[in-house]
Structures are given as C-alpha cells and as structure tokens.
C-alpha cells in the first residue's frame, strides 16, 4: 500500500480527521490512530475505543504540561521507550464520571484550550497526557512527539489524541494489518520516518547568529557563530 505524504496527513489533521501513523519496525513497530486534540468529538473517542482498542492518550508539549501544572507520573522512568506519562486528568467541570466518550472528549478539548490552566482540570482522571520532548520527532521518534508535531504543523494547538491499534484478538497490529485497517476505514496512513524527513527538509534548524572578520598571523579569517535550534 502506498502511504500518504505528510502534507496530505496534515490536511486531514487540520480538518479534524484521524490518520494512521506507523513507527519504525525496529522500534515499537506499531501504529496509532492520531488526531488533533482541539478537534476531538465524542464519536472520535468512541471510534478509538471500539476500533483502536489501545490506551487513549493525549500528547502535549512540555510547555502545556507546565501551563497545566502537570507532573510526570514517576520520577524515574523505567519504561522501555521512556514514554513520559503525566498524572491522569479530568475536566474540572462539565463531566459526570469522566469515562464516557463525551466526558473524555470534553476533558481533552478543555486541556487543549490555549488559555487552559490548573483550575480547569482535576487529578487523577480518565485521560492520560503524554509529555512530548522539545524538538518533537527530531529529538525522539515516538508517536507522542509525532502527534504534537502534526497538530502544530496543521496550525492547531500542539496537542493530539492517539490510541494504539490492536487486532481483534488483542495482539498488536503490524504494518500489513495497519494498512488493511486504514483501507477498511478510509483513513490516510503515514510513517514517523516520513515526518522526520519532512521536518528536516522544510525547517531551518541551524541559525547564523553573527559573522566577524578576524586578522591573524596566518592571514584573514572569518568567524561565524551558529545556533542549532
């Protein structure tokens, strides 16, 4: 199956649709349903729970974690891929028990608001934020960073919703099953590797700060200072 381009994935994320995002076969070798947190609806959460079957999480930036006063779940992360779970959350208002598709969608949209603060959420809850590493997929090639990156590249708040895709028997869906899943549900599919390549090709990560001419005993030299962002 031919995968979609990153601009095509960004277009769907911007429109509030889900995509299937696959990571490296040498890493987790799994695929997630991913969409923008600010666009999530109850029916999206229900689809993720029913068809994705994994743990529904909310990738957000470190800045958003600080804005919401979210602490990491553990001080010493011993998970194989060091996924940064924070303490789980609930919307402070507008929900009942917190677990319904409506309640989780409301919690996610609340936490994704640009003006959201600690007073808008309570802890613990039924939504699991994940703190993305600064630099996104250029720092860590995980679904957490990819979700936040895609939302940011779409011009939305850098917050996403994702869930791992399992087969009906409960096993992890691998690339052939993920591609069949995308065809069945009419979803676009791409890879984290392509997202990394796209960012490297379209973003300037090195900035020239200053240039100075220097006279030395060996002749004139030019001293250039760069900053890698």
In the chain, domain spans:
6-228
pLDDT in tens, 127-164: 999 999 999 999 999 999 999 999 999 999 999 999 99
Give residue 70's pLDDT band: very low, low, confident or very high (50, 70, 90). very high
Which range is most confident: 122-136, 193-207, 210-224? Answer: 122-136
Q: Is a pLDDT exceeding 70 seen at residue 189?
A: yes
The CATH number of 6-228 is: 3.90.870.10
SS3 annotation, 2-22:
CCCCHHHHHHHHHCCCCEEEE
The whole-angstrom distance between residue 17's C-alpha and the CA centroid of its chain comes to 14
Q: Which residue has the tokens 């409506």?
A: 102
Q: Please tell me whether residue 45 adopts helix, strand or coil conformation.
A: helix
Average per-residue pLDDT in the chain?
94
Average pLDDT for 156-177: 97
What letter does residue 70 receive in the DSSP assignment? P
Reply yes or no on whether the pLDDT at 90 is more than 80.
Answer: yes
Q: Which two tokens stand for residue 219?
A: 């002749």
Question: What angle (nearest 5°) sits at the alpha carbon of residue 47, between those of residues 25 and 1?
Answer: 40
Shortest CA distance to 38 belongs to which of 116, 124, 95, 93? 116
Q: Taking the model in full, what pTM does it have?
A: 0.88
Q: Is residue 190 pLDDT above 70, yes or no?
A: yes
């Amino acid at each position: 199956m031919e995968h979609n381009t990153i601009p095509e994935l960004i277009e769907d994320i911007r429109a509030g649709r889900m995509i299937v995002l696959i990571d490296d076969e040498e890493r987790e070798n799994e695929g997630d349903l991913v969409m923008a947190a600010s666009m999530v609806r109850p029916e999206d959460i229900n689809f993720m729970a029913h068809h994705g079957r994994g743990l529904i999480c909310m990738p957000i930036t470190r800045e958003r974690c600080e804005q919401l006063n979210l602490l990491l779940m553990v001080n010493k992360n011993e998970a194989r891929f060091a996924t940064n779970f924070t303490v789980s959350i609930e919307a402070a208002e507008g929900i009942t028990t917190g677990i319904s598709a409506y309640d989780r969608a409301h919690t996610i949209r609340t936490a994704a608001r640009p003006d959201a603060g600690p007073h808008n959420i309570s802890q613990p809850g039924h939504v699991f934020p994940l703190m993305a590493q600064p630099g996104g997929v250029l720092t860590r090639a995980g679904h957490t960073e990819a979700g936040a990156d895609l939302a940011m590249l779409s011009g939305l708040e850098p917050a996403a919703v994702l869930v791992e895709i399992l087969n009906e028997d409960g096993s992890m869906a691998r690339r052939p099953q993920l591609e069949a899943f995308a065809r069945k549900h009419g979803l676009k599919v791409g890879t984290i590797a392509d997202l990394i390549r796209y960012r490297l090709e379209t973003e300037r990560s090195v900035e020239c700060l200053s240039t100075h001419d220097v006279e030395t005993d060996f002749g004139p030299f030019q001293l250039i200072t760069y900053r890698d962002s």
